[in-house]
Structure 1
């Protein structure tokens, strides 16, 4: 019985492996760019999501940051403790907690967005605009193919 090697040979390209390498390097570059903002990539994703929708649920925040809902609670506690967000009960629905960015959170989210855009431009620098658009479309289709409902 033949076993495939963990890494592809030069003759074959494992798309999933290449995708994971690209994702890992993207994350490393983003973390490096965010180091001066005081937030991690996951925290940056949370700040950006809250900026878009202060009524966003913890579950939706967890999906946006690629963490578990249980981990999201810890992220929120840290962001609140460090002064990036303020959490208050919804005035009409006691079980709903509203989360808003503070001035510090707005500044960090803005810096994080700039950092993410810069890293993405760096990642796509070797592609034409058409290739970058096609890559985005193809990756979306790949992700959709792996959805549980597919």
Structure 2
């Protein structure tokens, strides 16, 4: 089995590498847009997920933010300390912790949505609407092909 040498100057397209560059630049732009809100891109993802489902599990939050469950616990402590969320026991199920956005958290989540939309528009500005749809479809198919059993 021969191994291809990764050489971006060769003109050969490495889709995974190109995808990683795009993802890295997307994250940098999003972090820059979010800087004024006081939250990171991962924290913003958590606030949005909580806003959509106050009973969401820590494991689901970790998946939404692309972090480990252990990291998520620390992130929730920070978000609560900084006044973005409030965590309380579920009134009927003692083991379930309800996590809700505070007014400050709702405002930051709304600003985060606007920041994400701004960055996405910038990223897709050079594409037609048909190309945007095709890109979305192709990326979903690639992700599906890599999903483990």
Which bracket does the TM-score occupy, shorter chain normalised?
over 0.9
Can you list the C-alpha shifts for 1:24-80, whole angstroms capped at 9, x where unaligned? 000000000000000000000000000000000000000000000110000000000
Q: In the alignment, what sits opposite 1:25?
A: 25
- Mind listing any 5+ residue stretches in structure 1 that lack a counterpart? none
Aligned partners of 1:95 and 1:7: how far apart in 2?
Answer: 52
Give SS of 2:87's match: strand
Cα shift at 1:85: 0.1
User: Which aligned runs of 4 or more in structure 1 are off by greater than 4 angstroms?
Assistant: none
1:105 and 1:78 map into 2 onto residues whose CA distance is: 12
Q: TM-score, normalised by structure 2?
A: 0.96
- Determine which structure has the larger helix proportion and give its number: 2
- Quick one: distance in 1 between partners of 2:14 and 2:27? 20
Tell me the CA shift for residue 2 of structure 1.
Answer: 5.9
Q: CA deviation at 1:135?
A: 0.3
- Aligned-residue CA RMSD (Å): 1.2
Corresponding pairs, count: 149
Shift of residue 6 of structure 1? 3.2
Alignment match, 2:55 = 55
TM-score of the two chains, using structure 1 as the length reference: 0.96
Whole-Å separation in 2 of the counterparts to 1:142 and 1:9: 25
Q: Structure 2: how far apart are the matches of 1:7 and 1:55?
A: 47
1:35 maps to what in 2? 35
Judged with a 3 Å threshold, the aligned counterparts in structure 2 of structure 1 residues 10 and 90 are, in CA distance, closer, same or farther, namely same
Paired residue secondary structure (2:95): coil
**Structure 2, gaps ≥5 residues long:** none
For 1:38-117, what aligned pairs fall within 5 Å after superposition? Answer: 38-117=38-117
Question: By how many angstroms is 1:3 displaced?
Answer: 4.7
Match of 1:126, SS state, is coil
